[in-house]
Amino acid sequence: MQALSVISRLLDYPDANIQAEASALSRVIHEAGLPAAKAAKLQAFLDQHLAMDLMDWQSEYDGLFERGRSLALWLFEHVHGESRDRGQAMVDLMKTYSDAGLQISEHELPDYIPLFLEFLSTQGEANAKAWLQDVEHILALLYCRLEKRESDYAVLFDALLTLAGCAPELSELREKVAQEKRDDTQQAIDKEWEEEEVTFGAESLEKSCSGSTRKPSESQRRDLDIPISWVDFDTAKPANESNQAARM
């Protein structure tokens, strides 16, 4: 699924190299097998952002994904929050990558969505779809939150749901998202800093690491059928609900 590589690139932090990659990205978009209307939206997203000043694009990205946790691009943030289960989930996912021949830096978090998508792009269509379906609820949540903010980044998650063959019922989720308080305001961020627990060691490193992604090496085995091993992934309560309950 080469389309996953494109979406991975567009969800990663924008840098100067993306201009040189524009033609290749466009080619993949139009060969991805997406419905024409959704492929057109994906291309429009790319064209619009390539036309922006790079610093403006980076500022938009920071404002969405680096302020608050509701749009965090880490899968387990939306499943485990800061619970101890998150650490074990990280270990399990890292082992899955390693078994497939993908080695990542010790400073990279395996649940970073662009990295996860880049990995899936090498695993064959059927297996990639199965993994995407397993995280459908997270993709749908991020889609609805971006939609609420009227961000065209929602197009990327809409495309992911389509590639997964998912057609989730979003009306109830949209109602819940509509009632959420923004966590990217200065007041919300200040409150989060006040409540943030001071941690040391591995937990501190995990929180401070940036989401820089590295693409799989050439040694990674392609189209390998890696079994899905999320534990209670589909049924886990969204982390933001758990955190809110804990603070009430």
- The strand pairing partners of 112, in sequence order, are 74
Q: Write out pLDDT tens, residues 214-230.
A: 444 444 444 444 343 44
Q: Write out pLDDT tens, residues 198-216.
A: 454 555 444 444 444 444 4
Q: Kind and range of the H or E element at 65?
A: helix 54-65
Here the tokens at position 243 are: 């955190």
What is the structure's pLDDT at 188?
Answer: 56
DSSP per residue, 79-124: TTTTSTHHHHHHHHHHHHHHHTT----TTS-TTBHHHHHHHHTTS-
What is the structure's pLDDT at 227?
Answer: 40
Instruction: Give the C-alpha separation, 33 to 4, whole Å.
Output: 12
Instruction: Give the C-alpha separation, 144 to 157, whole Å.
Output: 9
pTM above 0.85, yes or no: no
Contact between 129 and 91 under an 8 Å Cβ cutoff? The reply is no
Max CA pair span of the chain = 51
Q: What is the pLDDT along the chain (248 residues), one digit of tens a residue?
A: 889 999 999 999 999 999 999 999 999 999 988 899 999 999 999 999 999 999 999 999 999 998 878 899 999 888 765 667 777 888 888 888 888 888 887 778 889 999 999 999 999 999 999 999 999 999 999 999 999 999 999 999 999 999 999 888 899 999 999 998 876 665 655 555 455 554 545 554 444 444 444 444 444 444 444 343 444 444 444 444 444 443 34
